[in-house]
Structure formats: structure tokens, C-alpha cells
Structure 1
Amino acid sequence: MTDHSPILAPIVALIAWSLVMWVWMYATRIPAMNAAKIDTMNLVGGSGADLKAVIPPKAQWPADNYNHLMEQPTLFYAVALVLAMLGSGGGLNLTIAWAYVGLRVVHSIVQATVNRVIVRFAIFMLATLCLVALTVHAAMQVF
């Protein structure tokens, strides 16, 4: 067994969660598209924005969240890998990384179900504070 930085586990967990949201996205969008009588077999071009006009908002929420998981978490992946390479992927940084992942999972569930913006915003801000802390810790070592 190879030794590895423990901060790699939250990275893999968030990637796995992103894939769960990918499944959730299609599990809600395809039935909504069928209900809207969209001929998916002959559909050419188009975008998620086009679908928003014809499917219920609740069917779009998991897709919106999946897109969000492709945005800010890319910064998390980068800083977590930097901390892993620096040998600082345990202890407090590991706890903060798991907090970030947990908050992003809660954010996903809120957005894909009730989608209360103020609740999402609060969760997003807490997750962002985790990202800031990880970035400061990495910067303290590399600069």
C-alpha cells in the first residue's frame, strides 16, 4: 500500500458527489423532457438555457447544481492538491477540507430540492470560508 496524503480523500469524495449529481440531473431532466413532449431522439443543438423555457424549474435545479460543482470546487481541488504536495494534507487542513465537502453536499441537496436562495447563499459562504482558509494555509507555505 502506498502512503498518500489524507486530503486526497475529500477530493475523491467531492468528485464522487459530483457524479451523483450528474445522475440526479439526468434522472430529473429526462422525465421532464419527456413530459414536455421534447423529441430527444431528434433534438439537435440547444442548451440547458433552452430547456429552462420548457421544463419545470424543479427539474432544472439538479442541473444548475451540477454546473456549480464544476465551478468553485475546481479551486478546492487545486489547493487541496497543493497542500497534499506540501505534506500538509492532514490535521486542521484535512478537517477544513472535509467541512468544505460536507457543505457542498448540503448545498447540492438544498439547491436540488427546496432551492431557497438565502439558505444556499449561507451554505456557499461557509464553504467559501473553508476554501479561503485552505488557500491561506497553502500560501503561508509557498510564499
Structure 2
Amino acid sequence: MSNTLVQPVLALMVLTLLVWLVMYVRRIGAMRALRIPAQALSTPDKRSLLPEAVNRPSNNLVNLFEMPVLFYALCLLLMVGNQVDALYVQLAWAYVGLRALHSLIQCTANIVIWRFVAYLLSSLVLAAMIIRCAMHNF
């Protein structure tokens, strides 16, 4: 079994953990500064009590459990099927890089058009990987 996709998979997992950490650092800091008790944020709809910038990492974390799930599944499928080649590795790193860019944009400036472009490009890379795999296996 090839393990050349292990590094990009782990890199995306590390990115997810970093966003999770940033989310809690910002959220707890804001709750302390604004004196908001934890119970006041008991449901997601109550996050409006926090400034928008504080909620950005949380929104991004949710996003990191949407399309990336397909990436993880595809990479496992490719590794188990011993189908990994240099193009898949390059595409995987491109996907991870674009997802990192998307996270950076969403967690900081949150300029929607930049975020959209990063998201769209990452989705196109992932689609290319999936289509290539499907063509090889059908």
C-alpha cells in the first residue's frame, strides 16, 4: 500500500486542529472580555452574542467537515487500492494548499470573493481527483 498521500491527509488534519484551536482561543477570550457566561451560548443560534470575527473560525471548522470528507475518503481509497501516483499527490497537495488558503481568508479578513475563489478552486481540484479515480475504476 502506498503511503504518499499520508502527508497531505495529515496536513489537512493539522489544519483542522489549528482552526479548532483558534476557534476556542478567540471564543473564550471574547467570552471573558464581554463577560458572557458559557450557558448563554448553549445553541449555535446564540453565537450572535459574539462578534462576527470571533465566529469566523467556528464557521470555517464546520466547512472543514464538508468537502474534505470526500478528500479523506478518496485518499484512503487510492492508498488501499494502490493507485497513488505523482499526479494524485500533486493534486492532493494543491487541494490542501487551497483549503489552507480558504481557512486563512475566512479566519482573518473574510473577504468573500477571495474565499469563494479558494473554495471553488479547491473543489475543482477535488472533483478532478474523484473523476480521475472514477474513470480508472469503472
Instruction: Note whether the superposition's TM-score is higher than 0.5.
Output: yes
2:113 is the alignment partner of 1:115: no
2:16 paired residue number? 18
1-side partners of 2:101 and 2:117: how far apart? 11
Q: Which stretch of the first structure deviates more once superposed, 106-115 or 29-38?
A: 29-38
Distance 1:133 1:80 in 2: 13
Larger helix fraction of residues? 2
Correspondence for 2:137 among 126, 139, 142: 142
Query: 1:47 deviation in Å?
Result: 2.1
**Structure 1 unpaired stretches of 5+:** none
Identical columns (%): 36
In structure 1, how many angstroms separate the alpha carbons of the residues matched to 2:127 and 2:72?
13
TM (norm. structure 2) is 0.93
| 1:49 maps onto 2:45 in alignment | yes
> Across the two proteins, how many residue pairs are aligned to each other?
138
2:100 is aligned, of 92, 100, 105, to 105
Contact 1:21 1:65 (8 Å CA) reproduced: yes
Instruction: Find out whether 1:27 has 2:22 as its counterpart.
Output: no
1:44 Cα deviation after fit: 7.1
The offset of 1:78, in angstroms, is 0.8
What do the CA deviations read for 1:106-127 (whole angstroms, capped 9, x no partner)? 1000000000111100000100
Match in the other structure for 2:85: 90
Unaligned stretches of 5+ residues in structure 2: none
Amino acid corresponding to residue 86 of structure 1 in structure 2: G
User: Counterpart in 2 of 1:68?
Assistant: 63
CA-based RMSD of the aligned residues comes to 1.5
Corresponding residue SS for 2:132: helix
TM-score, length-normalised on structure 1?
0.90
Q: Runs ≥4 in structure 1, deviation > 4 angstroms?
A: none
- Higher mean displacement: 86-95 or 57-66: 86-95
